[in-house]
Structure 1
Amino acid sequence: MVARILAAHMVCFAEFDDASQWKILHPYNKESSVKSEIVPFGILQFDETKTAEMIHILDNYGQYAPQDKDGKPLPFVLYCDGLSCERADGAQRARINGGDHWARLEMIEPAIQEWHRRLMFVQDTFDELFKFESHREKGTLYNIKQYFDHKGVSSNIMECFNKATELLHFATKGFTVVAAMELLGVQSVDATPDALPSTASDRRDFLMSLAADIVNMIYEKPNTMEILEDEPAQGDFQYCSCKMDIGGVMVYCSYTKCRKGQWFHIDCLGISLEDVPEGDWFCSEDCKSLKNSGKKKCKSAISDRFRDLKKEYAHRLLWRGLNDLARADAVSENDGTRMIRHWKFDLMEFYEKHHPKYFVYAHRLLTNVGGAVSERL
């Protein structure tokens, strides 16, 4: 994706500005190149907020399901938004005791449409980076919107999805080119870097290496610390690895967010009190390292004053923008493998941004793809 952008906007890489060169092939390229036939089902006058009427909707769609030789329905995917998926699940639960596969609505597998997932991703991006207070700060998304007259863009992405993504992609491509110019040490898109190789094959390798450098520069490692430090689910006895109230002497792990039990029976540990040191004691090396990393917070807070916040903002915007470009490209190419890869990546996103419904459906989709449903589906 980065190489495509540079080839389209930098003169020194213009020879590679051919979309066919960057097409990512997948097993169903041939089938995907044929335009689908759109068959309208008409408008159903039912209220999906009511379970009984949602059942009628699924029954209506279910009549189009193909059958095997025994008359059993071959399930198909019903794409919808997160709320409609939830309502479809409710309708299927209401019919769980139906007499056959059709009555149990087993011919339908609700799934969140890719567009709705992208909508969520772009909305989260704008919630974080599109602020009116930053309209005077050069290079911010709001400033770019005003300077280049991107009309109709607001913070409510549902109302302006196409215009919002146009702005995001416009800014992303600009930031990508600026990053390349900085790494190459050139001042304009027309300049030729001194390090540019003389042969076409070497220039292409040079371009790919430059693209990789840009991605590595802005790559954001998923934040797993929040999940690691989450409180464990409440139960009858939360302590020790045995989770049993067996009495006896216990020792305390000095990492206050220990997920393994906090208090431990010395019998379960196979140690005696003499083995427990004075001062801090840790049940594992993980807890010890997490405790020690916490001691550095005061120092890091002081160093925050010296952070390059504008650079961090640019990297963040570039990372989010390239991610959305990659998602849009996967959908336009009908590349299921890449779409599934994005769903895996977004599990952390849904967790961090507090989208539990999408988090659950992402798990469900990945489980289905992993073998819970037929390969055909």
Structure 2
Amino acid sequence: MPLLVAMIQASLPAKLKRAGHNIIEKRLGTILSIIFFTRAPRKYNFVQATLSVELWRQGCTHKLFQTLNRLGITQGLQTARAHVDNIAADHDNCLVQWKTSVESSDNRNHKKAVRRVSQTGDEGYGVCWDNVQINPHCKHQGKDKKAEFLLWALSFACNNRVPTLHLMDTTTIPACQLIPCIIPQHHDYAELKNLMVYLTMKILMQHLPVMDPMKRHVPRRKHQYSTEMCNKSEVVNLGVLEANPASTAGVIQIMQHLHAYVPEPNGQVLPILCSGDGLSVERMVHAKRARVNGESKMHRLQGLVETPQEFHKEILLLQDTVNMLYSGSSIASRGSLAHMKVFYNHRSMSTDVKQNVQHAWDLIEFTTEAYVTMFAKTILNLDTISDVPANFPSTGRMEEKVEYLRRLAEQIVDFCWLAPKKEDIRKVNASAKSSAIFPEESYGFCCCDEEKEEPMIQCCSYQCPFSWYHLACVGLDEAPTDDWFCCDDCEVDGTYIYCRCHKRKGGEMIQCALKDACRNQEWYHKSCLSDNTFPEVWYCCDECALETEHDDYVLNYTKALMWRGLNHLARRFAVRHGEGETMKSHWKMDLLEFWSSRHHKYLNIAQQFLTGVSGFLSERLRHDMTWNRVANVHGKEGANIGMDLLNEFLNNEFKDMLLRSRGRYTPKQVQRCAQMSGAFGKQIDRLITDGGLGDLVQGNGSKTRHANKKDVLDFVKEFQKDLLFVYHPGRYHRGFEEYAYSTGIKSPDLLGRKLRKTAEVMDMWKNITD
């Protein structure tokens, strides 16, 4: 044997290396495996068996199996199927072990508490499912035989990376009391603004050479579970269930199948999360209500707690953006979304986002980065983006440079900031307090919730929930001349209604010449302004300076595009980094958009989700629903995705594998394809790669990033004369004449009544099941 190995090794070039891997050792092992397989095929067949399973997954023909088997490279097709059946037979062993671990880790009554006693993988888990639609090709069609499609359900389980079994499983709050908790407040928009500033800083460091050295010095965003979110998720594919998810009976069958994996420590059902897209969540709610008369929690399907996911919500919001900002008639209007699509060759992007999500995302991401970079160049008065700004602290400390970058990013975000008015949110809250069918129109100001013909005074705290008060309601006869605060909390919170920074700090301030009619913040700290020259009549912006009745509809479009784009970037960043609290905050803001865009299904789903994580569900489930709602299939930082997106990947892989079966959709073949897709198939791919049979090199997106950076540079050069960020009244993009983007809440009183009614229904069903 040593002589044989030495002879074969000597016949190969000793210095052959590629991509850091020794190809000689891999090929030597392959040659020896063929020799061993030829000598004793029943004993030495690991390499051939692995290759056979991989070829079966790729749908290779019987003739190819036969040919390669005779060459000693693989085993036969029947043997490959036997290997697949043996592997698939134990596909859920890992999940069964998780269930056993959870059940054995608790010895107390779960009505009181659930505890975690070890660190051996008993942190818990959740399941996810979605429908699978297969369109089989009908060879012979006629009046009585037409093409049909198969509708099944694919499911998987995923471990919890954030432990929650030590948290309480009782103490819940009625949904009607939680309505104020599901409506976005000032701190939600403050957090969104901070995230937008952080993302804007990253864009500027990417595209402005003078900002590039700061990449290592800008602190990364971290949260309490940042380390756990970098861990790789364990995914167990549960196969395909041939039940129709479009019917209530089919969904009940699916949930019964998944309920078998719900842990029951001490005979008590321990509910787990069951994730899905918006439609799946809605059907799960209907299925559980249809089984409300079941004799036990298992029969009532109460072991599965439905929760919506992030990917399909992202598609819905992207579609809203495309509907709002894309028009074919504006294709010749420079700077519009339609023009950018053609000018930068994003031809694959269509107005139907769900058919090409990635292409729509690429266009929105590129346009947002291009607009941010162009705006920075404009306000810094640079000839090219390679120039150094006149007021840049080139000789200063790195902390001063980072602060300069932050202030620049804040100025960019302030330019396009279009958050809803505080009084609209107040109206929603006030209307939701009453259970009357037709209450009077709610009032968005003052703590009295009443509209009176009395003088009012404004609290100078930017975080004040009411903002304006009647003088009589706060015990004043007349308004004071100095800054006034409604309470001690507002007086000490450090925020200010004036200036871009909204911070209470010393220093001289200057007022816009339009005073109360100013389109922005009216009063500004001089230290917060980039311009150091202040004439006797000073205007804060071009819009105020021109004082015209006409509007600049191109500028309105520009602000809307940047606002929508930064919102999309912020939501995807939160998902990628597993920022549970941030995702929850985004759902609150999206609830208002679902209402304004008439997405009533997602409005109900958003309210159910937010009510659950706010106190309607137990502490353990709230923590699960907040932090264990994403998966990380690569185990890298910033690589988390929604459970529904992971299901889409498994779904597509399963359908591709099944289509290679050439129409033989037998139950056995369906389960083989379902159970061999996903994580196990990827392990086979890696095994073959490392075993010496070729490298499957995966791209890291560097080429795409380089092309995007090049296009952003081209945009800055090409469109610098279009003055997209300078106020010019009367101009517009074709298809967007008189365009004005508003984030105001439509019919806030009606929204408040709708939220109240849904909350009452949730409480009713909970009282029935409890």
TM-score (norm 2): 0.40
Distance 1:238 1:51, change over 3 A: closer
Provide the aligned C-alpha RMSD in A. 3.0
For the pair 1:123 / 2:367, whether they are aligned, the reply is: no
Say which SS state the counterpart of residue 273 (structure 2) adopts.
Answer: strand
Aligned to 1:366: 610
Shift of 1:94: 0.8
TM-score (norm 1): 0.79
Aligned to 2:565: 321
Aligned to 1:15: 213
Shift of 1:374: 2.6
Rounded to whole Å, the distance in 2 between the matches of 1:317 and 1:196 is 28
Q: Deviation per CA, 1:207-239: give whole Å up to 9, x if none.
A: 01111111111110215777859xx89x99958
Q: Deviation per CA, 1:109-162: give whole Å up to 9, x if none.
A: 212210111111111000000111111011111111101101210110000111
Rounded to whole Å, the distance in 2 between the matches of 1:329 and 1:110 is 24
Aligned to 1:212: 410
Distance 1:64 1:239, change over 3 A: closer
Aligned to 1:284: 452
Say which SS state the counterpart of residue 338 (structure 1) adopts.
Answer: helix
Distance 1:142 1:238, change over 3 A: closer
Rounded to whole Å, the distance in 1 between the matches of 2:251 and 2:419 is 41
Shift of 1:185: 1.5
| 1:160-171 matched pairs, under 5 angstroms | 160-171=356-367
Aligned to 1:90: 286
Q: Deviation per CA, 1:256-306: give whole Å up to 9, x if none.
A: xx458xxxxxxxxxxxxxxxxxxxxx95359x9xxxxxxxxxxxxxx9962
**Aligned amino acid, residue 369 of structure 2:** K
> Is the Cα–Cα contact under 8 Å of residues 276 and 309 in structure 2 kept in the other structure?
yes
- Per chain length, whose mean CA-contact separation is higher, i.e. which structure has more relative contact order (CA < 8 Å, sep 6+)? 2
Shift of 1:38: 1.6
**Aligned amino acid, residue 2 of structure 1:** T
Rounded to whole Å, the distance in 2 between the matches of 1:318 and 1:189 is 19
For the pair 1:48 / 2:216, whether they are aligned, the reply is: no
**Aligned amino acid, residue 323 of structure 1:** N
> Is the Cα–Cα contact under 8 Å of residues 285 and 306 in structure 2 kept in the other structure?
yes
Say which SS state the counterpart of residue 376 (structure 1) adopts.
Answer: helix
> Is the Cα–Cα contact under 8 Å of residues 75 and 106 in structure 1 kept in the other structure?
yes
What are the ranges of 5 or more consecutive residues in structure 1 without an aligned counterpart?
241-257, 261-281, 289-302
Say which SS state the counterpart of residue 79 (structure 1) adopts.
Answer: strand
Rounded to whole Å, the distance in 2 between the matches of 1:106 and 1:365 is 16
| 1:146-225 matched pairs, under 5 angstroms | 146-197=342-393, 198=395, 199-222=397-420
Distance 1:223 1:154, change over 3 A: farther
**Aligned amino acid, residue 580 of structure 2:** G
Say which SS state the counterpart of residue 151 (structure 1) adopts.
Answer: coil
> Is the Cα–Cα contact under 8 Å of residues 208 and 385 in structure 2 kept in the other structure?
yes
Shift of 1:201: 1.0
Aligned to 1:375: 619
Rounded to whole Å, the distance in 2 between the matches of 1:39 and 1:236 is 49
Say which SS state the counterpart of residue 315 (structure 1) adopts.
Answer: helix
Distance 1:237 1:96, change over 3 A: closer
Superposition misfits of 4+ residues, deviation over 4 angstroms: 223-229, 235-240
Distance 1:351 1:238, change over 3 A: closer
Shift of 1:75: 1.9
Distance 1:223 1:122, change over 3 A: farther
> Is the Cα–Cα contact under 8 Å of residues 222 and 348 in structure 1 kept in the other structure?
no
**Aligned amino acid, residue 328 of structure 1:** R
| 1:256-295 matched pairs, under 5 angstroms | 258-259=441-442, 284-285=452-453
Structure (1 or 2) with the larger CA radius of gyration: 2
Distance 1:236 1:89, change over 3 A: closer
Distance 1:71 1:24, change over 3 A: farther
Rounded to whole Å, the distance in 2 between the matches of 1:47 and 1:191 is 61
> Is the Cα–Cα contact under 8 Å of residues 4 and 22 in structure 1 kept in the other structure?
no
Rounded to whole Å, the distance in 1 between the matches of 2:439 and 2:338 is 50
Say which SS state the counterpart of residue 196 (structure 1) adopts.
Answer: coil
Aligned to 1:65: 262
Aligned to 2:581: 337
Shift of 1:79: 1.9
**Aligned amino acid, residue 94 of structure 1:** A
Say which SS state the counterpart of residue 237 (structure 2) adopts.
Answer: coil
> Is the Cα–Cα contact under 8 Å of residues 59 and 105 in structure 1 kept in the other structure?
yes
Q: Deviation per CA, 1:321-363: give whole Å up to 9, x if none.
A: 1111111111111111110111111121111111111112111
> Is the Cα–Cα contact under 8 Å of residues 127 and 155 in structure 1 kept in the other structure?
yes
**Aligned amino acid, residue 375 of structure 1:** E
Rounded to whole Å, the distance in 1 between the matches of 2:603 and 2:399 is 43
Say which SS state the counterpart of residue 192 (structure 1) adopts.
Answer: coil
Say which SS state the counterpart of residue 275 (structure 2) adopts.
Answer: strand
Percent of matched pairs sharing the same residue: 31
Shift of 1:77: 2.0
Say which SS state the counterpart of residue 77 (structure 1) adopts.
Answer: strand
**Aligned amino acid, residue 103 of structure 1:** H
**Aligned amino acid, residue 220 of structure 1:** L
Rounded to whole Å, the distance in 2 between the matches of 1:330 and 1:238 is 39
Say which SS state the counterpart of residue 593 (structure 2) adopts.
Answer: helix
> Is the Cα–Cα contact under 8 Å of residues 315 and 353 in structure 2 kept in the other structure?
yes
